[in-house]
Amino acid sequence: MELKDSSAIVTGGASGLGLASARKLAARGARVVIIDLPSSDGEAVARELGGLFVGADVRDADGVSRAVSLAAEQAPLRALVHCAGRGGAVRVVEKDGTPGDQELFDTIVGINLSGTFNVLRHVASEMVRNDAVGGERGVCVLTASVAAYEGQISQTPYAASKAGVVGMTLVAARDLASRLVRVNTIAPGVFDTPILSRFSDEIRQRLASNVPHPSRLGHADEFADLALHMVDNAMINGETVRLDGAIRMPPR
């Protein structure tokens, strides 16, 4: 997929995996529109990249639609890297015997799964209007997690939502195949992102030691490199690729 003279949307683009992806897309010549929360550093990042920022929750249809319109006004929208999401601990039954927190479960699933579909449907609706270039109109890269396969204790909503993204990927790719739009997903393992920066060095080192090879936390640029390769390689479609150093998460 040729990115020069095209636009791209990156959700969660103000930090971590999304920030690295936004920078690489901009370096390839794409006009980048970042969607992130209004409280994020999205405005400053957009200025750095010569792009635009829309402060919105990914569940917000109006906000996402506004970002898509802004991107299309710059240049044909041909790439999406969707990184926005959140975690949170919910047990099926809490330690005191009470039922797990339904409200938090619904919030996490809403952001990670419904939010993914909301972004995908708005972006794809614009992409299918593009003229085909090299037999393609657009590429969407979504983000799941190794938790989709090996969710840990208390990760019920996170694991369920990320498993939903994995399940969505092939269906969406088949849905959009006749429109010449590809859909792929990356399932990262433990990455050195702002979320992990809240943990102590001891916890971070323990997480890193669980990775067989390379025995370290992943770098955001490594995620972005794979996202860009998925954009470039026309034969990668309907795939979820684990990016995890061969880790298989233990129960806790």
Q: Look at residue 17 and tell me if it is in a domain.
A: yes
DSSP state of 237: -
Work out the percent of the chain whose per-residue pLDDT is above 70: 100
Name 76's Cβ contacts closer than 8 Å, sequence gap at least 6.
Answer: 5, 6, 7, 130, 131
Secondary structure (3-state) at 120: helix
pLDDT, mean over the chain? 96
pLDDT at 2: 84
- Assess if residue 100 is contained within a domain: yes
Can you tell me which residue has the tokens 């402060």? 55
pLDDT tens-digit profile of 137-159? 999 999 999 999 999 999 999 99
- The answer to whether 158 is a known catalytic residue is yes
Confidence of residue 213 (pLDDT cuts 50, 70, 90): very high
Structure tokens at 124: 């794809």
Dist CA 170 CA 83 (whole Å)? 18
Asked if omega into 194 is within 30° of 0 (cis), the reply is: no
pLDDT grade, residue 23 (50/70/90)? very high
In a domain, 22, yes or no: yes
Which residue has tokens 């792009």? 51
pLDDT surpassing 90 at residue 29: yes
pLDDT at 203 over 90: no
Nearest to 183 by CA among 224, 133, 242, 240: 240
pLDDT at position 124: 98
Is 68 domain-assigned?
Answer: yes
pLDDT at 219 > cutoff 80: yes
pLDDT in tens, 221-233: 999 999 999 999 9
Q: What is the number of structural domains in the chain?
A: 1
Residue ranges making up the domain that contains 94: 7-243
Catalytic residue among 105, 158, 191, 223: 158
Taking 80 as the threshold, does the pLDDT of residue 198 lie above it?
no
pLDDT (0 to 100) of residue 22: 98
What pairs with residue 243 in β-bridges?
Answer: 188
Query: CA quadruple 167, 224, 53, 31: dihedral positive or negative?
Result: negative
Q: Kindly tell me if the per-residue pLDDT of 250 is higher than 90.
A: no
- In one letter, which amino acid is 207? L
Phi, psi dihedral angles at 4 (to 5 degrees): -65, 140
Is residue 252, in this structure, part of any structural domain at all?
Answer: no
Q: 197 vs 103, which has greater pLDDT? A: 103
CATH number at residue 133: 3.40.50.720
The reply to whether 229 falls in a domain is yes
